[in-house]
Amino acid sequence: MPTSYDYGKAEVCAWIRAHFPPHSTILDVGAGDGKWRRLLREYETMDAVEIFTPTAMALRALPYRHVFNDDIRRFEYERYDLIIFGDVIEHLSPQDAQAVLAYAAERCLDMVVAVPWLYAQGPVGGNVHETHLQPDLTPEIFAERYPMLEVLHDPGHGYCYYHKKEVGA
């Protein structure tokens, strides 16, 4: 699997641009090959957090404001306008993912969570963090585990984007 599918990225980038001006602060979690950084070039205050050291080192070649080589389960931060979890949640246990998303929800205006359905994966390229700890995810299971999120864009292909539910929804 590529670091992140391209399905629906153009539509999600358009949504981001419509809701967040270029001076917005963005945190790219599990930044991988830096796809979101390349897609959202106009956002000057975009930071990345990446657990795998070789990948984090490579990300420093991209125009991120800061690249943090850290585990999102322990990473502390104050506030971002938008937090992008591009293909991250499936790599965490349900309990860890719930805790990470709850922490993030209190520290951002919105978040984008991209997730594949029913995708088993082990370590890739020597990176044990590539293992999917939630290979059972479906739209129904995702809705049950993460009720604070709602569909942002469903491009099909066994892949979907979510964001924070509107207040009162």
Cβ atoms of residues 151 and 15 within 8 Å: no
4 domain-assigned: no
Domain of 111 in residue numbering reads as: 9-164
pLDDT tens across 27-58, in order?
999 999 999 999 999 999 999 999 999 999 99
Residue 40's pLDDT is 98
Kindly state the DSSP code that residue 130 receives in the 8-state scheme: G
Residue 69 inside a domain? The answer is yes
Q: Is residue 106 part of a domain?
A: yes
Contact 117, 138 (CB under 8 A): yes
Rounded mean pLDDT, 119-145:
93
Report if residue 2 sits inside a domain: no
State residue 156's pLDDT score: 86
The token pair at 42 is 């106009």
Whether 105 and 165 have beta carbons less than 8 Å apart is answered as: no
> Cα 31 to the chain's mean position, in Å?
8
C-alpha R_g of the chain:
15
Report the CATH number that the domain containing residue 28 is assigned in CATH. 3.40.50.150
Q: Is residue 3 part of a domain?
A: no
Per the structure, the count of domains in the chain is: 1
